[in-house]
Amino acid sequence: MDHAETVDWSACRLVEMKPDVQSGVPVLKGTRLPAAAIVDNSDFGVDASEIAEQFEVPLELVEAVLAYAKSHRVAHSI
């Protein structure tokens, strides 16, 4: 993903944003894992199965988060 782009996580059912969890950044529901960590690893060429293993989350979840991110990129406002 281009550094000038970000993901609109507001409609993603797999992600939640709570002020008391990771300072309110979007995380996978029920975890403290930032959704951006999955996307960033993928952008750096890490395979989805490796990401799933590294963060100890189901492969299907990683694939779903990456698919959502790909279709919900927005230009970053500076």
- List pLDDT tens digits, range 5-51: 689 999 999 999 999 999 999 999 999 999 999 999 999 999 999 99
**Average pLDDT estimate for 51-73:** 96
Q: Using 50, 70 and 90 to split pLDDT, how confident is the model at 4?
A: very low
Distance between CA atoms of residues 20 and 65, nearest Å: 22
Distance between CA atoms of residues 58 and 53, nearest Å: 8
Count Cα atoms within 13 angstroms, Cβ side, for 47: 3
Any idea what the CATH number is for the domain that residue 36 is in?
Answer: 1.10.10.10
Six-digit token string for 23: 């300072």
pTM for the model: 0.85
Q: Residue 21 belongs to what domain range?
A: 5-75
Number of domains in the chain: 1
